Amino acid sequence: MTQTETCVEELLVEELIDQKDLIVFNDDVNTFEHVINSLIKVCKHSEIQAEQCTWIIHYNGKCQVKRGSFDRLEPLCTSLLEKGISAEIQ
C-alpha cells in the first residue's frame, strides 16, 4: 500500500468516526403537521421522508433525522429547538 492510499484511508475513517446523528424526540405538544413541515424546512426532507420520520418519532419515541458532522448538524438542531421540537445531537 502506498502512502497516498494510506492517507486516503485514514481520512475516510476519520470522516466516519466524526459522524453524528440529529435525533428528534416525541412529545405531547407538537402536531404531526408542525413536525413534518419543520423537517421539510430545516432538514430539507421530502414530504414523504418527513412524514415517515414523524411516524417513527411517534411510535418509537425518537428518530435519527439527519447524519453528518457536528458543525453541519448544530444549526439544524438549533432551528428545530427554536421551533419547539425536542432534538439533540448524539
pLDDT digits (tens, 9 = 90+) for 31-46: 999 999 999 999 999 9
Could you tell me the residue range of the domain that residue 75 belongs to? 19-89
- Amino acid identity, residue 12? L
d(CA 31, CA 21): 23
CATH number assigned to the domain comprising residue 48? 3.30.1390.10
CA 68 to chain centre: 8
Confidence of residue 18 (pLDDT cuts 50, 70, 90): confident
Tell if the pTM clears 0.75, that is, is over it.
Answer: yes
Q: Would 36 be classed as within a structural domain?
A: yes
Q: pLDDT per residue over 39-90, tens digit each?
A: 999 999 999 999 999 999 999 999 999 999 999 999 999 999 999 999 999 9
Q: Is 43 a domain residue?
A: yes
